[in-house]
Amino acid sequence: MGIFQKIFGSKDASENSSASFINPIQVEFHSHLIFGVDDGCETIDQSIELLRKFADMGMRKVITTPHVMSDFYKNNRQNIYPLRDAIRQRLKEENIDLEFEAAAEYMIDDGFENKIQEGNLLTFGPENKHILVELPFMTEPRNLNSSLFELQIAGYKPILAHPERYLYYATEKEKYHELKDRGILLQLNMLSCIGYYSKPVADAAQYLVDNNLVDLVGSDTHHMRHMQLLPQVLLNKTYQKACKAELLNNFL
């Protein structure tokens, strides 16, 4: 397609909603951009490079969410906040116009309920009540229900990261509806829409979107390879359909 067709559209483009799609998402809230603390960015330069790309994509705020797991990633406020502050300083020095916050992506594992009791969880959102949680990929954790219940009675608003990636739910789709009915917010990974993880994950993503089960979208960016695929996601019909729902991203 020539440059003018790209800008002004064409007959073909008018039949293709991709051409006129403008991404409505201005707040990206699932990524691994705190350097050196998990399987995401390794250096501050990588963090800044990815944040610059998010700003170029039109994001006004990025809330990054390093993994917290009892065994592997023992991250907490004490180690995350100083690194967040160092990144904020670099953003300022490099004139990158972006609000930058740090929270966490908590694995619901055996140690998670202790963390709830201790309080001090890393949260975000308008009342600082939203919390991002993830599950193991192979089996549903035995303390899933109790953990979600304890979070909710403590006043948190749990967001389940990438439900489409837990394939034990793909074969038991009523689970998605049960979680929604219990007030759990569901976050779709953008890359799931283009089949980045697998075909079954893409199919589960399609199911969530078609059934209006998605509350938020997130990039789950760990590194530049993820970032380089995001333009492709913006052209994807499943992602575009997800964005037609009333997503909560821009209220975070």
Q: In the complex with Fe ion, which residue's Cβ is closer, 10 or 31?
A: 31
Residue 171 CB coordination number (10 Å): 9
Q: x/- string (CB under 5 A) for Fe ion, residues 162-201?
A: ----------------------------------------
Residue whose C-alpha is closest to residue 123's, from 97, 98, 146, 151:
151
Cα–Cα distance, 188 to 249 (Å, whole number): 11
CA angle 164, 165, 166 (to 5 degrees): 95
Q: Are 249 and 216 in contact (CB under 8 A)?
A: yes
Least distance CB 160 / Fe ion (angstroms): 12
Determine if 38 is a binding residue for Fe ion (CB under 5 A): no
The distance of closest approach from Cβ of residue 162 to Fe ion in the complex, given in angstroms and rounded to an integer, is: 7
Count CB neighbours of 97 within 10 A: 8
Q: Which residues of 25-51 are buried (b: 16+ CB within 10 A; e: fewer)?
A: bebbbbbbbbbebbebbeebebbbebb
Choose one: 34-42, 55-63, 104-112, 180-188; the region binding Fe ion (CB under 5 A).
104-112
Q: Which residue lies nearer to Fe ion by CB, 138 or 153?
A: 138
Least distance in angstroms from the C-beta of 213 to Fe ion: 19
Which residues inside 199-228 make contact with Fe ion, applying CB under 5 A? 220
| From 38-46, 105-113, 152-160, 243-251, span contacting Fe ion (CB under 5 A) | 105-113
Binding status of residue 105 toward Fe ion by CB under 5 A: yes
Q: Which residues contact 35 (CB under 8 A, 6 or more apart)?
A: 41, 42, 43, 44, 46, 47, 83, 87
The window from 40-48, 55-63, 97-105, 111-119 that contacts Fe ion (CB under 5 A) reads 97-105
Contact residues for Fe ion (CB under 5 A)? Answer: 105, 220
